[in-house]
Amino acid sequence: MGNDLTTDEFDALRQIAQDSGRGRPSACVSRNAKRLAGLKYIAHTRDGRFELTEKGRQLLFIQNCIDGLRAVAADPATQLPRDVATFLGKKGHIAAGSATAFEITQKGRECLADIDARLT
Q: How many domains does the chain have?
A: 2
- Give yes or no: residues 78 and 111 share one domain: yes
The span from the CA of 120 to the CA of 115, in Å, is 9
| pLDDT tier for residue 22 given thresholds of 50, 70 and 90 | low
| pLDDT tier for residue 98 given thresholds of 50, 70 and 90 | low
pTM of the full structure: 0.86
Residues whose CB is less than 8 angstroms from the CB of residue 37 and which lie 6 or more positions away in sequence, other chains included: 43, 44, 50
Q: Report CA dihedral (57, 62, 68, 69) to the nearest 10 degrees.
A: 170
pLDDT tens digit sequence for 24-56: 888 999 999 999 999 999 998 888 889 999 999
Domain residue limits at 48? 2-52
Domain for residue 37, yes or no? yes
- Give yes or no: residues 40 and 9 share one domain: yes
